[in-house]
């Protein structure tokens, strides 16, 4: 884990100036690896399953509604479906949360369970959701299902992507309808699969330095532009503050509007971070909307992706982690260059020995922060030389023009 000072003082937003040296001052190979949060494994929850018997309902006189069916479960629950949902003939099943469940369950997939059919089977299913068993809304329609056996091999398609939430306070019910052509199986259960989200990078927090510009404006800046993925603006006391947020990538850059946001801190709850696109951000400014800034300025924290440094411990320690040389070029190698693919199971990065940070040592002065490489110096000299030639040419042409003018005046 890189120290916070590396992110704050690095001369490159991508940490190109980071180096690792052994005791003899020799550089050792290293890799900067984006750190990600550990993801919990997928969880499966058995939902309560109630088969429903369907029977058509006679349309009320003068209503014009002919597509109505009554669904009745064995324990007396009755549901009336109308219109297109009623036209979906087949087997109907009502799903609810387990009795012991007290909170919501995020469902990424429904896994349908059935006994192995005697012959190859294929069908489709639709899924609906409701809060009150009266109004039903379509979640998925005509999703394919399959169960085929060939010798010792079995091909089974029994999951439906849902991306929904079951909650005791909101969407409390799901209904699965196996279409009429899906005869041959009967559901014996349904599992709600809660798959973890994609691995998200861990963030490092960088505090911005605040400055009040007026009673309605304030800005926060960082010593060096940072590739921020989000920014948190936290009030120092309870309250609500409507603001407009803007950002800029450098001191000379114009302010770019980001969004209008309501900052709040009430009942131990606070406004969430505001997302950014990961580009360079040098400063953030807020302008209040029909309000004054509070007595104590809010605190602003920038969030950028965190990196882990993995290095090959060649030579003797202690090893020196160095950064801040403006003339440095990228030296990080791909992780595969440090640990071959055949050895990654044995030497997993998460289980490598940890290196502890000891005392800080100043290896150079402030001039190293603005140093340039030999190629950059040569390019700058070439630029100055070209400008010198152009300026000399302009002076020479001006002199020639002046001489011609004098000759013309003399003849006149």
> What residues contact residue 140 under an 8 Å CB cut-off, 6+ apart?
125, 126, 127, 160, 161, 162
Q: Which residues span the domain enclosing 406? A: 372-411
> Can you give the pLDDT at residue 279?
92
Are 29 and 53 found together in one domain? Answer: no
Residue 10, pLDDT > 70, answer: yes
- Same domain? For 165 and 250 the reply is no
As a whole number, mean pLDDT of residues 145-170 equals: 86
Same-domain check for residues 177 and 61 = yes
| Residue range 104-134, pLDDT digits in tens | 888 889 999 998 888 888 888 989 998 888 8
Residue 125 lies in a domain: yes
- Give the highest mean pLDDT range of 24-28, 40-44, 250-254: 250-254
Residue 9 belongs to a domain: yes
DSSP codes joined into one string, 20-69: EE-TTS-B--EEEEE-BPPPPPPEEEEEEEEEEEEEE-PPPTTT----EE
Same domain for 286 and 387, yes or no, is: no
- The pLDDT of residue 369 is 47
- Measured CA to CA, the distance from residue 230 to residue 225 in angstroms comes to 14
| Rounded percentage of the chain residues whose pLDDT exceeds 70 | 87
Average of per-residue pLDDT across 143-164: 86
The residue with greater pLDDT, 200 or 20, is 20
Same domain assignment for residues 27 and 64: no
Q: What is the pLDDT of residues 274-306, one digit of tens each?
A: 999 989 999 999 999 999 999 999 999 999 999
**Residue 18 maps to a domain:** yes
Residue whose pair of structure tokens reads 């306070």 in the numeric block: 169
Whether residue 398 has pLDDT greater than 60: yes
- Helix H or strand E segment including 307: strand 307-311
Max mean pLDDT range (161-165, 240-244, 318-322):
240-244
Q: What is the DSSP string of 208-252?
A: PEEEE-SSSEEEEEEEEEEE-SEEEEE-SSSEEEEEEEEEESSTT
Report the C-alpha gap between 363 and 135 in whole angstroms.
70
Do 342 and 208 reside in the same domain of the chain?
Answer: no
Domain boundary among 194, 214, 235: 194
25: left (phi over 0), alpha (psi -120 to 50) or beta: left
Boundary residue ending a domain (194, 219, 252):
194
Residue 378's pLDDT band (boundaries 50, 70, 90)?
confident
* Of the ranges 61-65, 86-90, 263-267, the best mean pLDDT one: 263-267
Q: Same domain for 128 and 228? A: no
Last residue of a domain, one of 305, 324, 352: 305
Best CA proximity match to 270, nearest among 244, 235, 298: 235
Q: Tell me, what CATH number does 213's domain have?
A: 2.60.120.260
**Residue 227 pLDDT exceeds 60:** yes
Q: Are 48 and 185 found together in one domain?
A: yes
Measure the CA–CA gap between 329 and 11, rounded to whole angstroms: 11
Q: Is a pLDDT exceeding 70 seen at residue 86?
A: no
Strands 217-227 and 280-288: antiparallel
**DSSP3 helix / strand / coil % (the chain, rounded to 5):** 15, 45, 40
Residue matched to tokens 């400055």: 211
**65 and 161 share one domain:** yes
Task: Tell me which of 351 and 87 has the higher pLDDT.
Answer: 351
CATH number at residue 128: 2.60.120
Going by C-alpha positions, the residue among 251, 199, 246 that lies closest to residue 41 is: 199
pLDDT value at residue 376: 64
My answer on whether 16 and 108 are in the same domain is: no
The SS3 of residue 272 is coil
The number of distinct structural domains making up the chain is 4
Give the whole-angstrom CA distance, residue 76 versus residue 96: 15
In a domain, 1, yes or no: yes
Q: pLDDT confidence of 189, banded at 50, 70, 90?
A: very high
pLDDT, residue 263, reads 92
199 domain-assigned: no
Residue 3 counted as domain residue: yes
Nearest alpha-carbon partner for 263 in 247, 240, 238, 286:
240
Looking at residue 368, what is its pLDDT?
47
DSSP codes, 134-180: SSEEEEEEEEEEEEEEETTEEEEE-EEEEEEEE-SSS--EEEEEEEG
Q: What is the mean pLDDT of the chain?
A: 83
- Is the residue at 332 inside a domain? yes
Residue 232 · residue 301 · CB < 8 Å = yes
Residue 217 has pLDDT above 50, yes or no: yes
Considering the domain architecture, whether residues 144 and 79 belong to the same structural domain is answered as yes
Domain presence at residue 342: yes
Residue 259: count of CB within 10 angstroms of its CB: 10
* Residues 80 and 218 placed together within one structural domain of the fold: no
Q: Tens digits of per-residue pLDDT, 162-172?
A: 888 888 888 88
Confidence class of residue 234 from pLDDT cuts 50, 70 and 90? very high
Residue 183 reports pLDDT greater than 80: no
CA distances from 219 to 61, 246, 300 (A): 69, 9, 9
382 by DSSP, 3-state: which?
A: helix
β-bridge mates for residue 79, sequence order: 71
pTM of the model: 0.59
Side-chain half-sphere exposure of 346, counting CA atoms within 13 A: 5
């Amino acid at each position: 884990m890189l120290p916070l000072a590396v992110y704050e003082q690095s001369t490159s937003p991508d940490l190109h100036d980071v180096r690792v040296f052994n005791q003899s001052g020799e550089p050792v190979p290293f890799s900067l690896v984006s750190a990600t949060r550990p993801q919990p494994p997928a969880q499966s929850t058995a939902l309560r399953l109630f088969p429903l018997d369907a029977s058509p309902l006679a349309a009320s006189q003068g209503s014009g509604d002919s597509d109505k069916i009554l669904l009745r479960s064995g324990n007396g629950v009755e549901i009336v479906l109308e219109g297109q949902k009623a036209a979906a003939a087949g087997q109907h099943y009502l799903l609810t949360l387990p009795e012991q469940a007290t909170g919501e369950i995020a469902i990424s997939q429904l896994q349908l369970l059935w006994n192995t059919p005697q012959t190859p089977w294929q069908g489709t299913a639709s899924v609906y959701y409701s809060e009150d068993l009266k109004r039903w809304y379509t979640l998925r329609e005509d999703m394919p299902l399959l169960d085929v056996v060939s010798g010792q091999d079995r091909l089974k398609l029994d999951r439906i992507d849902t991306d929904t939430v079951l909650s005791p306070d909101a969407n409390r019910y799901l209904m699965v309808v196996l279409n009429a052509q899906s005869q041959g199986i009967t559901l014996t259960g349904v599992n709600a699969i809660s798959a973890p989200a994609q691995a998200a990078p861990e963030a490092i927090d960088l505090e911005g330095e605040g400055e009040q510009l007026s009673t309605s404006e304030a800005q926060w800046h960082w010593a060096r532009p940072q590739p921020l993925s989000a920014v948190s603006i936290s009030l120092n006391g309870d309250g609500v503050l409507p603001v407009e947020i803007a950002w800029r990538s450098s001191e000379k850059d114009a302010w770019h509007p980001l969004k209008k946001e309501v900052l709040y801190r009430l009942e131990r709850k606070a406004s969430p971070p505001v997302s950014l696109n990961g580009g360079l951000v040098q400063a953030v400014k807020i302008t209040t909307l029909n309000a004054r800034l509070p007595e104590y300025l809010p605190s602003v924290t920038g969030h950028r992706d965190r990196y882990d440094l993995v290095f090959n411990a060649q030579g003797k320690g202690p090893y020196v982690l160095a950064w801040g040389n403006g003339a440095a070029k990228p030296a990080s190698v791909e992780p595969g260059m440090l640990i071959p693919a055949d050895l990654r199971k044995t030497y997993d990065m998460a289980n490598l020995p940890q290196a502890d940070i000891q005392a800080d040592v100043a290896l150079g002065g402030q001039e190293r922060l603005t140093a340039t490489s030999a190629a950059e110096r040569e390019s700058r000299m070439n630029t100055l030389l070209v400008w010198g030639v152009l300026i000399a040419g302009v002076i020479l042409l001006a002199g020639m023009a002046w001489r011609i003018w004098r000759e013309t005046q003399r003849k006149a």
